[in-house]
Amino acid sequence: MQCSWKAVILLALASIAIQYTAIRTLTSKPFQLCPVPSPQNCGLLGGSETESPIEGRAGCDDYPYFSFNASRKTHIMVLATTRSGSSFVGQLLNQHADIFYLFEPLYHVQTTLIPRLSHSRNAADRRVMLGASRDLLRSLYGCDLYFLESYIKPAPANHTTDKLFRRGASRALCSLPVCDAFGPTDANVEEGDCVKKCASLNMTLAADACREKRHVAIKVVRVPEIGDLRALVEDPRLNIKVIQLVRDPRGILSSRIETFRDTYRLWRIWRATGRRPYNLDLSQLTVVCEDFLGSVSTGLSHPHWLKGKYMLVRYEDLSRNPLLKTMEIYDFLGLPMDKSVEEWIQTNTRGSTELSAKHKYGTVRDSAANAESWRLKLSYDMVEYTQATCHKVLHQLGYKAVKSAEELKNMSLSLVQDKTFVPFS
């Protein structure tokens, strides 16, 4: 018969397939149908991440975790809360030539999923946010920027957008080859100039730029507790190092009152009138302190899953001695600090006072004084109230409470106790 050899081969193949299936069934390890992790199956390796509600995900081919040598990458996370100096720490990483930096990509998750609330205490909201956030962070550390597009409004067309939150804060997204508005010698492009002069962001080019860099750093202010990141930290495909940035809650409160004028309007009324409005939203303060307390307690208790991956930094220490502290941070990351980081510190902290009006980070200038300038801005009863609400975390982080208005305003008396937080190695 003419096709008999074909039949033999088919039979042989079928028998191999049957044996293969049998062997697979007998092995105890779970078998992954899709060799490349996608959000649907990454739970197999990284814990359950099924809460993310974004539909219509692409197939496995779109998740190139294993398509590059990930083992050599360091995935850096600056974990902080708003107005705690995280933009400054972000810049310390952004300036490094080998680091691809993203400024708070979870902004897009929050505005898409929970547009109403910026500090939701609702447990269900939080869970949804966290599941989606972990999925997104995992993708971004793998330089999969297309994944972020699901959360950008309006939805990017042809993988191009001009709505990426704070694109201008990321050096790689404002320079060649992602943006050709500036030459290779334009070292420090201002954020506003980047947004004005660069064409729409081509996400394909941005992802390529990310893969070109040896490391990825992401600033995160929308994850309340470090314990929420455990699945990510333990993910064997990632090499996460967490820098947890903390600041005196009294300083955070003061800074938020100045910055988020609408949201913190009642606190300003309190300060102006000397009376606490009855309808003041106290959760704006208690949430910060509870989250700090939970998060810092977890971090400092040195759970095994954080070994070698955790460093706590007080903003006040960084302000006092930016260069030294930055060196410690790079030490912890296991990366050499490069010249451009040092230069950026010189330009943006002490010295060069004539630039202070122009530079956004002018607030960090003369920093030691600045980190405690809240003392001149908050009234004593507000401080007293904050101290009572947050006394545990103040104590834990080494911030001194004041007992009188005189003490509060006496700037020759520092409220930051010397306290060393060594990285968990």
Ligand X SMILES: *[C@@H]1O[C@H](CO)[C@@H](O)[C@H](O)[C@H]1NC(C)=O
Question: Which position's Cβ is nearest ligand X?
Answer: 157
Determine the Cα–Cα distance for residues 245 and 228; give it in Å rounded to an integer.
16
Query: Restricting to residues 191-210, which ones interact with ligand X according to CB under 6 A?
Result: 202, 204-205
In whole angstroms, the minimum distance from the beta carbon of 156 to ligand X comes to 9
- Report how far residue 333's alpha carbon sits from residue 161's, in angstroms, rounded to the nearest whole number: 32
72 binds ligand X (CB under 6 A): yes
Nearest to 318 by CA among 223, 244, 259, 409: 244
CA distance 226 to 401: 26
Is residue 139 within 8 A of residue 301, CB to CB? The reply is no
- Rule CB under 6 A: say whether 406 interacts with ligand X: yes
Does 2 engage in binding with ligand X (CB under 6 A)? no
Out of 82, 160, 188, 340, point to the residue binding ligand X (CB under 6 A).
Answer: 160
Stretch that binds ligand X, among 43-51, 156-164, 290-298, 394-402 (CB under 6 A): 156-164
* Closest distance to ligand X from the beta carbon of 200 (Å): 8
137-169 CB burial, b ≥16 within 10 A, e <16: bbbbbbbbbbbbbbbbeeebeeeebeebbbbbb
154 lies in the site for ligand X, by CB under 6 A: no
Query: Quick one: 204 or 347, whose CB is closer to ligand X?
Result: 204
Phi, psi (degrees; rounded to nearest 5) at 254: -60, -45
Q: Is residue 161 within the footprint of ligand X (CB under 6 A)?
A: no
Supply 374's token pair: 């809240």
Q: Count the site residues for ligand X by CB under 6 A.
A: 13
Binding of residue 414 to ligand X (CB under 6 A): no
Query: Does residue 246 sit in helix, strand or coil?
Result: strand
The stretch among 155-163, 189-197, 285-293, 392-400 that binds ligand X (CB under 6 A) is 155-163
35 binds ligand X (CB under 6 A): no
Stretch that binds ligand X, among 154-162, 267-275, 331-339, 378-386 (CB under 6 A): 154-162
CA distances from 61 to 34, 57, 121 (A): 9, 11, 37
Which positions touch ligand X (CB under 6 A)? 69, 71-72, 157-158, 160, 202, 204-205, 406, 410, 412-413
